Chains A and B, each alone.
Chain A
Amino acid sequence: MKWLSYFAIGALFAFGLGISGMTQPAKVLAFLDLFGAWDPALLCVMGAAVTVNFIGFRLANQRAHPLLAARFELPTRRDLDGALVAGAMLFGIGWGLAGFCPGPALVALASGSLDVLLFVLAMFAGFLFKDFAFASPAGGHVAHRS
């Protein structure tokens, strides 16, 4: 049941990304083109996703533990640091250059486009580069609330 839930939630997420327009780089770039022919549609994606998750997250957290797991695993850090700022800035540059963020890029692999595959391979290389070259000293910051 747990494994099925991971798979089905991944598929639901991918379908939502596809329907919303996030898997079309041209659409994403038009949304980011605030000073050009701005396309506001993707603002609705964020608005709807955050609203539904805001309610769902609060409902979920009224329970002592998740339905299929022993505990909730939530990030606990609240401090702002240079890594957060620099990382978000670099991510935004890559997002603005290609029109892809990680989730939609993985979904768009199904298009069979070699360019999408190249982007995804480079993205994984970026993950590895960060995780091996800049190993985090403190490890994960995750609370276990059981």
Chain B
Amino acid sequence: MTTLEHDRDGARLNGPAGVVRARANQLLVLVALFAIWQALSMKLGVYWVSSPWHVISRFSAGVAGGDLLRHASYTLAEAAAGFVIGALPAAALPLALRRLPAVTAVLDPLMVGGYGAPKLALAPLFILWFGIGIESKVALVAITVFFIVYFSALAGVRALDVKLVQMAQVMGASERDVARHIVFPGAVPYVFTGLRIAMPYSIGGAVIAELISANRGLGYLVQLGAMNFDTTGIFTALVMTTLIVFLGNWSVNAVERRLLRWRPPADLRMQAGS
């Protein structure tokens, strides 16, 4: 059924009116989802699907009591530490090797292999090495993030506009000037794409390692809930995990927006799809 708001192929037609109506529909869907959840919990029992109210109250209690936040902070710390440890060398390496294309070429199969290989499969190995504490999680996150950011940074260095370098050289720029004023700023957008892609992997990696073996963190809470048949506990931990993923996304986007004010809008639109 065609409506006045969309054309035959789904593109929204009306300007502001269409947007308002879409927002209203979205709100409706949200309410519907909660209603369905509530209905399911009444039909199947709280034991199986918990209920909106149970999760909300457990969540609030967990936050108020500090417990939930404490576990969340462990997971966040693991993810953040691993993120930084993985991303910094990954971004620096292509910049450092810029004048040594042979070395980059030699390393390429190693990097491609590392990128393609399932890093998460290393989780048991890291737990074997570092124990069930924070280090194994940080290591896992670091190695996952490293390869993602490496290739983004490499693309950024390769996207170098030679004409800009020549221009700078004609004006008397030294090698260091070129690296600092041309190569580095040019690569930053690409590095941020990598950071944005890697961010959910960092939290996901921390949680997975916690699922396998841990005694702290949100993944641990999920496992605990599962072992105690405590669906509410599982859902609460899941909600918190999702929240910190959103928080992470928002942070990376906020920093990016600040640093990359100079980008032409067309680039931004293309980025939005990823």
Same assembly: no
- Which residues of A are interface residues toward B (Cβ below 8 A)? none
- Which residues of B are interface residues toward A (Cβ below 8 A)? none
